[in-house]
Chains A and B, each alone.
Chain A
């Protein structure tokens, strides 16, 4: 075994960033461990259905089919040749002293690393809407996963609401697959969407494709909408109540609702690994800090949407750069990265354009009615959160201990951003960043007590 082969680099996540990172590491003579929650590599955007499904890549990934296939093939070939160690259906739940605690179907164990590349991706950024706790309300990403990985729609008559590129894309994909869509409700007014245009022109073809898609939604699409309430019975949603751009009340009957305001980065592991965070005003979320290559210190490298929300193409580049930096720091030869760095800068401009074109409606969050459930896990309302702020002040970790928002089993992934706006608004803070950042806690996924006990025994 060569010296390089003995160095253990672990990649967490097998989406576009993780796969490209693994490729560069393998090219540098390493044999990385790739830990991923999916059954098959691909991540969420290029998620693959289980074995035995028959839709061709063009049906699953549309215009991006070639990219998806290239990534899947590359990863499968490396795994088959034993050039990397793939741990599918495995979750990293904790990081301590250069080791990762990994949960899989067998239980818990610790894996040591010399260097760590985190490519943990992103999730739907969610704004609570009164009634969103009812069964049959999903993230837009969930509806896309159901379609892609299971060939299914999560209802007979869908309303998609929120803002961002996925809203339009998913609507088109669902319609094409034969789903019935009652309305596509975009909370961003058209004039605001045009403001992001300067940034979007960094990738003109992609911007154009988005506009063409929008045309296919014809009368279903409404911009500048205000979402008032999801009306539900004991089975789930029956209608979405909303106001159109003119302020007129509208009611759209449905049996399922998809919500999403673009994406938020999955940063829990970066937090546990000791990365610094900074509040990013464009994305209105706390993001981990790294240099232009993805170096975050402590032997940790970040890539993909978990670092900066650049989408799948940007993630591929960021994955390559992070792995190249890792090789460089280990004193191993790496690829030429000049072209990748230029492309990443261009993708960054486009992504900021998107963030401006489809903003997070912060003021809606701050003014959510008292009865709105904010924490969907435990049914904590805006009123309860505001009371916690009155009592304990405008800091999100205090509000969490006192009001339990962020303490449920999603650990704040879906309520944290709206909750922070409410905390800041309620305490009269000058900006949401002043309310602080919710600290990450291990385990970042719920872990059965048995697995932790077994682990303690083994550590003994």
Chain B
């Protein structure tokens, strides 16, 4: 968590283990900071209220089970396959998208 503003935007509240080394990633093109050991889900939800929109309703999606059973938490990357955010560790420099990339049908 770098700024008070991004904390207000995020859903996730860090209660412990907050002194891990910072890790940089990109969400919709802007640089964000998370911590080493974060899952993609933790990283994104620490700066945003959700991972993406729903394709079947007006609501947003932010994961549901966090154990790989519900498949609610997938998220796009600028390149490469979509990721199951709850079970994918964040990697330095990951470029994630909360909306479908341009060429998505």
Complex Cα–Cα for A32 and B58 (A): 47
Judge if A133 is at the interface, Cβ distance under 8 Å: yes
Judge if A2 is at the interface, Cβ distance under 8 Å: no
B15 touches A141 (CB 8 A): no
Q: Do A445 and B68 contact each other (CB < 8 Å), given the known contacts A53-B37, A150-B39? A: yes
Judge if B50 is at the interface, Cβ distance under 8 Å: yes
Judge if B81 is at the interface, Cβ distance under 8 Å: yes
CB-CB under 8 A from A89, the residues of chain B are 87
B66 to chain A, nearest CB (A): 4
Cβ contact of A156, chosen from B13, B51, B63, B67, cutoff 8 A: B13
A153 touches B65 (CB 8 A): no
A448 touches B72 (CB 8 A): no
Judge if B102 is at the interface, Cβ distance under 8 Å: no
Cβ contact of B65, chosen from A142, A149, A178, cutoff 8 A: A142
Q: Which of B45-64 contact A (CB under 8 A)?
A: 45-46, 49-51, 54, 56-64
B69 touches A410 (CB 8 A): yes
B81 touches A448 (CB 8 A): yes
B50 touches A151 (CB 8 A): no
CB-CB under 8 A from B20, the residues of chain A are 52-53
B14 touches A152 (CB 8 A): yes
B20 to chain A, nearest CB (A): 6
B60 touches A235 (CB 8 A): yes
| Nearest opposing residue in chain B for A60, CB measure | B16
Cβ contact of A236, chosen from B15, B42, B60, cutoff 8 A: B60
The secondary structure that dominates the B interface is loop
Q: Do A152 and B62 contact each other (CB < 8 Å), given the known contacts A255-B11, A410-B70? A: no
A137 to chain B, nearest CB (A): 7
The winner among B51, B56, B58 for most chain A CB atoms within 10 A is B56
Query: Contact mask A22-37 → B, CB, 8 Å, 1/0?
Result: 0000000000000001
B17 touches A54 (CB 8 A): yes
Complex Cα–Cα for A377 and B72 (A): 7
CB-CB under 8 A from B22, the residues of chain A are none
Cβ contact of A135, chosen from B15, B38, B60, B81, cutoff 8 A: B60
CB-CB under 8 A from A308, the residues of chain B are none
Judge if B12 is at the interface, Cβ distance under 8 Å: yes
Cβ contact of A154, chosen from B11, B59, B68, cutoff 8 A: B11
B71 touches A135 (CB 8 A): no
Cβ contact of B56, chosen from A59, A139, A232, A378, cutoff 8 A: A378
B61 touches A135 (CB 8 A): yes
The secondary structure that dominates the A interface is loop
Query: Contact mask A128-165 → B, CB, 8 Å, 1/0?
Result: 00000111111101100111011111111000000000
Judge if A347 is at the interface, Cβ distance under 8 Å: no
Complex Cα–Cα for A44 and B67 (A): 8
A152 touches B89 (CB 8 A): no
Complex Cα–Cα for A14 and B92 (A): 28
A414 touches B42 (CB 8 A): no
Complex Cα–Cα for A141 and B86 (A): 13
B73 to chain A, nearest CB (A): 10
B15 touches A178 (CB 8 A): yes
Complex Cα–Cα for A139 and B86 (A): 13
Complex Cα–Cα for A153 and B20 (A): 17
Cβ contact of A134, chosen from B37, B60, B87, cutoff 8 A: B60
The winner among B15, B36, B89 for most chain A CB atoms within 10 A is B15
A319 to chain B, nearest CB (A): 19
CB-CB under 8 A from A44, the residues of chain B are 67
Judge if B100 is at the interface, Cβ distance under 8 Å: no
Complex Cα–Cα for A319 and B78 (A): 43
A256 touches B11 (CB 8 A): yes
B37 touches A51 (CB 8 A): yes
Q: Which of A84-129 contact B (CB under 8 A)?
A: 89, 91, 123-124
CB-CB under 8 A from B72, the residues of chain A are 376-377, 409-410
CB-CB under 8 A from A134, the residues of chain B are 59-60
CB-CB under 8 A from B87, the residues of chain A are 37, 39, 89
Cβ contact of A155, chosen from B11, B36, B64, B69, cutoff 8 A: B11
Complex Cα–Cα for A156 and B10 (A): 10
Q: Which 5 A-B pairs have the closest CB atoms?
A: A151-B17, A151-B16, A135-B62, A142-B66, A135-B60
Interfacial residues, chain A to chain B (CB-CB below 8 A): 37, 39, 44, 49-55, 59, 89, 91, 123-124, 133-139, 141-142, 145-147, 149-156, 177-179, 232, 234-236, 255-256, 266, 373, 376-379, 409-410, 413-414, 445-446, 448, 450
A selection of 15 A-B contacts at a CB cut-off of 8 Å is A37-B67, A39-B87, A50-B89, A52-B37, A123-B65, A133-B59, A138-B63, A146-B12, A152-B13, A154-B62, A156-B13, A236-B62, A413-B70, A414-B65, A446-B71
